[in-house]
């Protein structure tokens, strides 16, 4: 398994069904949804699903046209009360489109969106289909437009308030109350403080609510959710509630607003510095000092250099650290940063310590930028080429090769064709173009491995990974029917809570009874825990709980782990973060 830094975009949550002719070279790419999940929305709120497309018309007909639709679904059927506006019809060509939908009535949850490219009449049939899991609540009451003065995940000081601005809407005509409450493990967080519960009138408005957690005998408190509640004026009826997962860690010391420059992930040349800026709050009376150590595999990275940190002001303020890796270390992957705050006058006292996941690859060379066409996430028919431009720096005074390898869950993608080699001249290089496709079979390319070699290819200069999401579909004739059933696939949910300490629940759905299992891996690909042995499991929703222990029953270190669902021939993995 290879190092990964997943984009928060729903790249890892898309799964699809594809029907395409072998003569086609079609795609839907750079797919975005106008509202992120989970979301609480009023009726008739329009959701747009934007995407790039290319349609070649190569289905053995006389250049048929296509429509591109975004259809909301609930429990496998079109959501009741749906009105959707497709895009098209389009003759062979390419462009960007914005199909949309809205829910006109009812009180419903949209749990997926079917984005389809379909043949226009009389040549009915589905060319490409992408299933996008979402969590969109539509109804007569809603909370939306949430803005936080401290975005989750964040570390907070006991008694420090999180302020949330949002818009409420209701069809309730009497007075009502709008409140928020923090949650821990599904229950109200102990020692919580909230503000704003006066009676308000009208059917909509903008409000500010806030919460905090006070210290008790525990050293810290975790808030993993916020519930927004709408009551009638005398609190006798809960009209509506909506929960959003968050991650706030409350303790006596808080390190906040951490900014990395350059941001992670990044490919860097030895000696290039990473700057970390942060704000802090502490009840410690003496001047604190912060050290930020680069880590590789749970230990300090080899041959690192920290610029000497300076004493910080007592109680609160801002700070800055920098680090780099020397050339003598060779190829180094920094996979997390460890923050340690000391008492400046008594340095054996640790005020606070924690880690955050990163991915910085240090070598004598760098991959500065990669531009993909189409942009991920994208679904492409077999034989459609994915083009990409690579900008790199060659730190040596001799020419080298840039070699690329598409990967599918850590192994080379099969049935790949393309141009995977270009020359790297000494110094900064102009963009060079490479391309690839999957000629047959259904495959998800979820990572690109970039390598730089000397010309004889006996000296590896660079080894860098970049997460992507390109799905290549199988070659099959489109059936001459209006609706072609999609392939129903297993689905792995985001674990909750995440980050977590010490337990998290992993949910997954199976379309039918099948052999399935769940395993936990570290970022080096080493098996940590077989959570669910491969066995025949029932169709529908299943779940397992991980308690942060390995197969030997020992607690594992804080950090980022992969949880992987294997169901039949299907497999998918996601990230989770264990905090301490």
Rounded to whole angstroms, the Cα distance separating 336 from 294 reads 6
In the chain, where does the domain assigned CATH 2.60.40.4070 lie? 492-578
Residue 234 pLDDT class (50, 70, 90 cuts): very high
Averaging pLDDT over each range in 265-279, 317-331, 420-434, which range is the top one?
Answer: 265-279
Residue 1 pLDDT class (50, 70, 90 cuts): very low
Domain 253-363 has CATH 3.30.70.20: no
Tens of pLDDT, residue by residue over 38-78, are 999 999 999 999 999 999 876 555 668 899 999 999 998 99
Residue that wins the pLDDT comparison between 213 and 513:
213
For the stretch 244-247, contacts whose Cβ atoms lie closer than 8 Å and that sit 24 or more positions apart, written own/partner, are 244/38, 244/146, 245/38, 245/496, 245/497, 245/498, 246/152, 246/153, 247/152, 247/153, 247/154, 247/222, 247/223, 247/497, 247/498, 247/499
Rounded to whole angstroms, the Cα distance separating 346 from 12 reads 46
Residue 525 pLDDT class (50, 70, 90 cuts): low
Q: What's the pLDDT score for residue 164?
A: 95
For tokens 């229950």, name the residue. 187
Secondary-structure class of domain 492-578 per CATH: mainly beta
Rounded to whole angstroms, the Cα distance separating 356 from 278 reads 13
Tens of pLDDT, residue by residue over 193-210, are 998 888 999 999 999 999
Rounded to whole angstroms, the Cα distance separating 15 from 31 reads 13
In this prediction, residues 245-256 reach a mean pLDDT of: 92
In the chain, where does the domain assigned CATH 2.60.40.770 lie? 10-139, 253-363
Q: What's the pLDDT score for residue 553?
A: 92
pLDDT exceeds cutoff 70 at 551: yes
Q: What is the mean pLDDT of the chain?
A: 85
Tens of pLDDT, residue by residue over 474-516, are 432 222 222 223 334 677 888 888 888 888 888 888 877 778 8
Rounded to whole angstroms, the Cα distance separating 38 from 135 reads 5
For 89, what's the count of Cα atoms within 13 Å in the CB-facing half-sphere?
Answer: 14
Rounded to whole angstroms, the Cα distance separating 267 from 464 reads 7
Tens of pLDDT, residue by residue over 86-114, are 888 898 898 999 999 999 999 999 999 99
Q: Do residues 28 and 53 make contact, with C-beta atoms less than 8 angstroms apart?
A: yes
Residue that wins the pLDDT comparison between 491 and 178:
178
Q: What's the pLDDT score for residue 16?
A: 39
CATH code reported for the domain at 10-139: 2.60.40.770
Tens of pLDDT, residue by residue over 124-164, are 788 888 888 889 999 999 999 999 999 988 999 999 999 99
Q: What's the pLDDT score for residue 15?
A: 39
Read off φ and ψ for residue 324, nearest 5 degrees. -150, 175
CA angle 41, 47, 51 (to 5 degrees): 150
Read off φ and ψ for residue 264, nearest 5 degrees. -95, 145
Structure tokens at 494: 């985001």
Q: What is the pTM of this model?
A: 0.75
Residue 402 pLDDT class (50, 70, 90 cuts): very high
Out of 353-367, 468-482, 521-535, least confident range: 468-482
**CATH-assigned architecture of domain 159-251:** Sandwich (2.60)
């Amino acid at each position: 398994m290879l190092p990964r830094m997943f984009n928060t975009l729903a790249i890892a949550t898309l799964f699809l069904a594809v029907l395409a002719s072998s003569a086609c070279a079609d795609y839907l790419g750079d797919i975005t949804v106008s509202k992120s999940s989970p979301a609480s929305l009023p009726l008739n709120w329009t959701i747009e699903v934007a995407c790039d497309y290319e349609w070649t018309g190569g289905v053995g007909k006389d250049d048929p046209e296509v429509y591109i639709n975004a259809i909301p679904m609930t429990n496998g059927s079109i959501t009741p009360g749906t009105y959707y506006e497709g895009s098209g019809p389009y003759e062979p060509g390419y462009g960007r489109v914005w199909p949309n939908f809205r829910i006109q009535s009812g009180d419903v949850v949209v749990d997926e969106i079917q984005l389809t490219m379909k043949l226009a009449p009389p040549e009915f049939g589905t060319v490409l289909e992408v299933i996008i899991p979402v969590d969109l609540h539509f109804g007569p009451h809603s909370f939306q437009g949430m803005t936080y003065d401290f975005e989750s995940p964040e570390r907070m000081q006991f008694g420090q308030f999180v302020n949330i601005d949002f818009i409420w809407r209701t069809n309730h005509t009497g007075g009502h109350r709008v409140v928020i409450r923090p949650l821990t493990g599904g229950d109200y967080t102990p020692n919580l403080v909230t503000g704003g519960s006066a009676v308000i009138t009208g059917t909509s408005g903008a409000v500010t609510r806030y919460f905090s957690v006070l210290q008790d005998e525990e050293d810290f408190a975790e808030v993993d959710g916020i519930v927004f509640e709408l009551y009638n004026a005398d609190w006798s009826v809960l009209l509506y509630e909506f929960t959003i997962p968050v991650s706030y860690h409350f303790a006596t010391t808080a390190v906040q607003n951490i900014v990395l420059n350059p941001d992670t992930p990044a490919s860097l040349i030895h000696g290039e510095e990473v700057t970390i800026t942060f704000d802090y709050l502490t009840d410690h009376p003496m001047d604190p000092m912060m050290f930020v150590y680069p880590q590789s595999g749970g230990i300090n990275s080899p041959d690192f250099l920290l610029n000497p940190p300076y004493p910080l002001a007592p109680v609160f303020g801002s700070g800055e650290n920098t680090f780099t890796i020397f050339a003598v270390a060779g190829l180094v992957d920094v996979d997390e940063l460890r923050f340690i705050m000391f008492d400046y006058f008594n340095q054996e006292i640790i005020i606070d310590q924690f880690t955050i996941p990163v991915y910085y690859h240090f070598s004598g060379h760098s991959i500065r930028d990669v531009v993909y066409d189409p942009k991920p996430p994208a679904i492409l028919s077999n034989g459609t080429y994915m083009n990409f431009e690579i900008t790199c720096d060659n730190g040596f005074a001799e020419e080298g090769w840039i070699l690329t390898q598409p990967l599918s869950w850590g192994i080379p993608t099969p049935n790949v064709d393309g141009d995977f080699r270009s020359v790297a001249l000494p110094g900064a290089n102009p963009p060079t173009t490479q391309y690839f496709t999957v000629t047959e079979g259904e495959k998800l390319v979820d990572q690109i491995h970039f390598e730089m070699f000397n010309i004889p290819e006996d000296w590896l200069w660079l080894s860098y990974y970049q997460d992507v999401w390109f799905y290549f579909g199988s070659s099959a004739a489109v059936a001459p029917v209006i609706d072609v059933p999609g392939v129903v696939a297993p689905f792995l949910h985001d674990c909750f809570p995440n980050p977590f300490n010490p337990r998290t629940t992993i949910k997954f759905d199976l379309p039918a009874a099948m052999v399935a299992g769940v395993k936990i891996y570290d970022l080096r690909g080493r098996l940590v825990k077989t959570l669910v042995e491969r066995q025949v499991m029932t169709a529908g929703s299943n779940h397992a709980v991980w308690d942060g222990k390995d197969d030997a029953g020992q607690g594992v270190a804080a950090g980022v782990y992969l949880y992987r669902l294997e169901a039949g021939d299907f497999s998918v993995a996601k990230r989770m973060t264990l905090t301490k």
